[in-house]
């Protein structure tokens, strides 16, 4: 599952039964009243840059301020491989971003009681061209959460891209530099022990014998035993 829509989620949000005071038009995006946009990444970041490239696709169509995007790792469906992240999510993320932007434009038009065609989205804000009035996306979160999803949205012409194709700052770099990023090696459970396999240095070789006395004498060593391709 790369994304889904809960058909009554906007009504639940409006009734205060969902993510209170936030705008969540689909499974990827949450626009908060403080203007921060949470993006749920459904792929694992393994150095290939999906914490940056996937949000860029969404941000492009949504006309977001790149600095307002916060990344959260989705807890399910994180299968990643085969260089399929961009290929598989290119169109769905573009549609998700365009849909969210359309709803924010509609919310602004209703608030101002103007034509939506007179409103334009740019850098995380909705501008009313005739008057110069502006709304931050976050200021429209509650109003947008009460709207129904649009039937069809237009995607940008690639010639109009402003973010895609640029050298955007990677979203995962600060966490890896300051030590906040959590890796498998950071997992520590009660009673946890560590193991490693010593293999034969010659391909196809098998164990003939082993003397474990010195190794077992080391403090903390619990056991040494043979496995199919080593010890």
Strands 134-136 and 125-128: antiparallel
DSSP 8-class letter at 90 = H
The packing angle between helices 85-112 and 50-62, to 10°, is 30
- Write down the pLDDT at residue 12: 38
DSSP 8-class letter at 186 = G
- Write down the pLDDT at residue 77: 61
pTM for the structure as a whole: 0.72
Strands 125-128 and 37-41: unpaired
Nearest to 71 by CA among 93, 22, 38: 38
Domain boundaries, the chain: 9-173
Q: Kindly report the CATH class assigned to 9-173.
A: alpha beta
DSSP β-bridge partners for residue 23:
31
Q: Is 149 helix (H, G, I), strand (E, B) or coil?
A: coil
Residue-wise pLDDT tens for the chain (231 aa)? 223 344 434 443 344 434 446 787 767 788 999 999 999 888 888 888 898 999 999 999 999 999 999 988 887 666 787 788 889 999 999 999 999 999 999 999 999 999 999 999 999 999 999 999 999 999 999 999 899 989 889 999 999 999 999 998 888 888 889 988 888 888 899 999 999 999 988 888 888 899 999 999 999 999 999 988 889
Residue 116 · residue 104 · CB < 8 Å: no
Q: Which residues have C-beta within 8 Å of that of residue 225, sequence separation ≥ 6?
A: 231
DSSP 8-class letter at 23 = B
- Write down the pLDDT at residue 229: 82
117 φψ region: left (φ > 0), alpha (ψ -120 to 50), beta (else): alpha
Long-range contacts of 149-152 (CB under 8 A, 24+ apart): 149/5, 149/10, 149/25, 149/99, 149/103, 150/99, 150/102, 150/103, 150/106
Q: Tell me how far apart the alpha carbons of residues 126 and 132 are, in angstroms, rounded to a whole number.
A: 10
Residue 77 · residue 41 · CB < 8 Å: no
């Amino acid at each position: 599952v790369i994304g889904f829509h809960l058909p009554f989620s906007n009504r639940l949000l409006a009734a205060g039964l969902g993510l209170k005071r936030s705008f969540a038009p689909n499974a990827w995006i949450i626009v908060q009243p403080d203007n921060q946009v949470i993006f749920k990444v459904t792929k694992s970041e393994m150095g290939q840059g999906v914490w940056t490239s996937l949000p860029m696709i969404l941000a492009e169509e949504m006309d977001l301020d790149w600095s307002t995007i916060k990344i959260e790792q989705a807890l399910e469906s994180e299968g990643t491989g085969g260089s399929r992240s961009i290929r598989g999510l290119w169109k769905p993320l573009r549609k998700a971003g365009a849909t969210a932007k359309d709803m924010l434009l509609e919310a602004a038009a209703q608030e101002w009681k103007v034509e939506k065609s007179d409103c334009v989205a740019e850098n995380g804000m909705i501008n009313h061209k005739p008057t110069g009035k502006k709304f931050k996306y976050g200021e429209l979160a509650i109003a947008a959460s009460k709207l129904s999803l649009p039937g069809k949205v237009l995607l940008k012409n690639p010639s109009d891209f402003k973010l895609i194709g640029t050298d955007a700052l990677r979203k995962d770099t600060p966490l890896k530099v300051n030590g906040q990023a959590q890796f498998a090696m950071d997992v520590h459970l009660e009673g946890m022990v560590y193991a490693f396999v010593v293999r034969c240095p010659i391909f196809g070789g098998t164990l003939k014998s082993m003397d474990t006395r010195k190794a077992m004498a080391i403090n903390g060593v619990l056991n040494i035993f043979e496995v199919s391709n080593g010890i």
